[in-house]
Amino acid sequence: MPREARGQMASITDILERIGSTWQSNRQQLLDSGQRLTESLLQLERSATGSVEGQLLNEEPLKQTYAKFFETFDKERGGFGEAPKFPVPHNLSMLLRLGQRLGLENAQTMAMRTLQSIRLSGTYDHIGFGVHRYAVDANWRVPHFEKMLYDQALLSLAAADAFQASSDPFFSTMVDEISEYVLRDLTDPQGGFYSGEDADSEGVEGTFYLWTPQQVQEVLGLEHGTIFCHCYEVSEGGNFEGSNIVRLEMDVTQWAAWFGIEPERLGEVLVLGRQLLLPAREARIRPHRDDKVLTAWNGLMIAALARAAVVLDKEEYLQAASASAEFILSNMRREDGRLLRRYRQGEAAVPGFLDDYAFFCWGLIELYQAGFNSRYLDLALELSADMERLFGDGTGNLFDSAEDAETVLTRSKTILDGAVPSGNSAAAWNLLRLASLTGDQAMAERGEAAIKTSLAQAVRYPTGTSLLYTALDYALGPKEVVVLAAAESDTVSQEMLAALRKRFLPRTLVLRADPDDARLNELTPLLQGKEAQEGQSTAYLCRGETCQAPVTSVDELIALLEG
């Protein structure tokens, strides 16, 4: 809630004053309302999950959610429904998977069109990069200027998926830009990631981000400044309260045709313009930065940077993701192994909630996939087991708070996604992927049970449970694990890995054989007997407990994947 009223949104002080006034004038009304609310919460908890008996997982819920998204899709402007428009990137990642599984081109088109609209719009920061919280209008032109770490992470993950699904550099550039913003402006010197930046500076929302033509031309000069202003809609009349939100309504190729110059030349002018405007903007009073480090949101950003390292083949992103993970493990984990929720100015506190465990495990899984450091796989398994013990409800689902946490009214259980996905859904997806990597069938069954118990509520809110449907897509398979065994003088296994990483394979995981890593071989029995054949780097494609005959060339591996 804002500190001061904004539009029709009351401030926190307004609400507290009204509560205080009502408590004085009509106390019984508040007590009765509190009792009804408590009863409703208890009923909601009881109805949040369903029985798993007799349930079989199938594609029908995926088809139903596609129909609902298609019904509300804004074909002209991207996104879903009317204003305000939120990015909700986990919806887009799910639609990309759904489109691939069901052969529905429209599903992937909806996701990619929305990503394109966001990146070209005023909701995207074209000078410093990163995405703002949401657009107040249906055209994505006017943002609420707040920036949140979780939006950066989830949007980067969706853009990475879109790049693999399309090979369109528009999306890889988006991943790079978001990563650049986070590493520059939201990274603690010790490695953790800060929570976000406020919308306001100097007491006014958006001031930090707005430009006039004169301000642009003072930095870029008349010629380049005029071109920049034309492309980014910076005008004398202004497009927002007398000043201008920087936004790109057409991409560079379209503007180049309009100006009659080569796209490469225009691109150089705009890139140089941004590089010069950024330090000029940095000289302004910037919005307050929320420098809390939250385990859950860091887990999402670790996952995003690890995926960026995979998709873009950039070691610096893997290093940044690893640094955040090590920060959490060193500073936000108690001696007894319990994760803590937040860290600020040298103090870590508050026992972790479900999303802290689920999202951090997600990040650790992606870290293993990016760098094949078996320590991260081991930690993901350890923390996942802790999570089931601390948060389990006995039916397959998980409570939001641990068994020893203070209970306020009731111990809640969240199935629906919000600004971030459901911790329950992330946990189910984690269990299924860890089961694939380790061959633990009991773990796979627990992951499937978690999906089944959540589906009763999910089918009532099909557009509000996207990560659950991502987990369902994975559960339905075919689930694949590619084991790479490198020869001593290895180039082919790297080529195989590069070929895998160019493709959108959301149900395919990779294990790298290492005969010297005793712990890895203990964790993953699937590696037994997987060796380089006759001195050549070798790949084994496994579905469940069945592995195909080994192959020793990239072409053979791709043929297996496409077969």
CA distance 558 to 100: 17
Let me know whether 103 and 174 are in one domain: yes
Let me know whether 327 and 469 are in one domain: yes
Q: Which stretches of the chain drop beneath a pLDDT of 50?
A: none
Contact (Cβ atoms closer than 8 angstroms) between residue 112 and residue 164: no
Closest CA to 484 of 432, 428, 524, 457: 524
pLDDT score, position 408:
67
Let me know whether 211 and 275 are in one domain: yes
Residue at 47 is within a domain: no
Write out 127-152 in H/E/C secondary structure.
Answer: CCCCECCEECCCCCCCEECCEEHHHH
The residue from 433, 454, 476 where one domain ends is 476
pLDDT score, position 407:
66
Let me know whether 113 and 80 are in one domain: yes
Residue 92, both tokens: 């887009």
pLDDT score, position 35:
82
Contact (Cβ atoms closer than 8 angstroms) between residue 507 and residue 480: yes
Question: Rounded to the nearest 5°, which phi and psi values hold at 421?
Answer: -65, 165
CATH at residue 487 = 3.40.30
User: What are the distances in angstroms from CA 345 to CA 17, 151, 193, 349, 556?
Assistant: 32, 24, 13, 11, 53
Peptide bond before residue 61 is cis, with ω within 30 degrees of 0: no
Let me know whether 281 and 311 are in one domain: no
Residue at 51 is within a domain: no
pLDDT score, position 41:
66
Q: How many CB atoms lie within 10 A of CB 380?
A: 23
Let me know whether 79 and 192 are in one domain: yes
Which residue blocks in 260-294 are alpha helix, DSSP H?
A: 263-282
Contact (Cβ atoms closer than 8 angstroms) between residue 397 and residue 391: no
Q: How many CB atoms lie within 10 A of CB 313?
A: 13
Peptide bond before residue 421 is cis, with ω within 30 degrees of 0: no
Let me know whether 318 and 438 are in one domain: yes
The residue from 286, 316, 334 where one domain ends is 286
CA distance 196 to 242: 27
pLDDT score, position 10:
85
Domains contained in the chain, number? 4
Q: How many CB atoms lie within 10 A of CB 377?
A: 23
Residue at 181 is within a domain: yes
Residue at 54 is within a domain: no
pLDDT score, position 491:
87
Residue at 55 is within a domain: no
pTM exceeds 0.85? yes
Let me know whether 315 and 263 are in one domain: no
Let me know whether 146 and 294 are in one domain: yes
CA distance 25 to 98: 54
Closest CA to 400 of 462, 467, 354: 354
CATH at residue 113 = 1.50.10.10
CA distance 496 to 560: 12
Residue 32: domain span: 1-40
Cα 423–chain centre separation: 13
Let me know whether 335 and 414 are in one domain: yes
Let me know whether 221 and 247 are in one domain: yes
Question: For 447-471, how does the pLDDT look when each residue is reduced to its tens digit (9 = 90+)?
Answer: 999 999 999 889 999 999 999 999 9
Which residue blocks in 73-126 are alpha helix, DSSP H?
A: 89-102, 105-120
Residue at 360 is within a domain: yes
Amino acid identity of 41? L
The residue from 224, 258, 286 where one domain ends is 286
Residue at 53 is within a domain: no
Let me know whether 464 and 504 are in one domain: no
Residue at 50 is within a domain: no
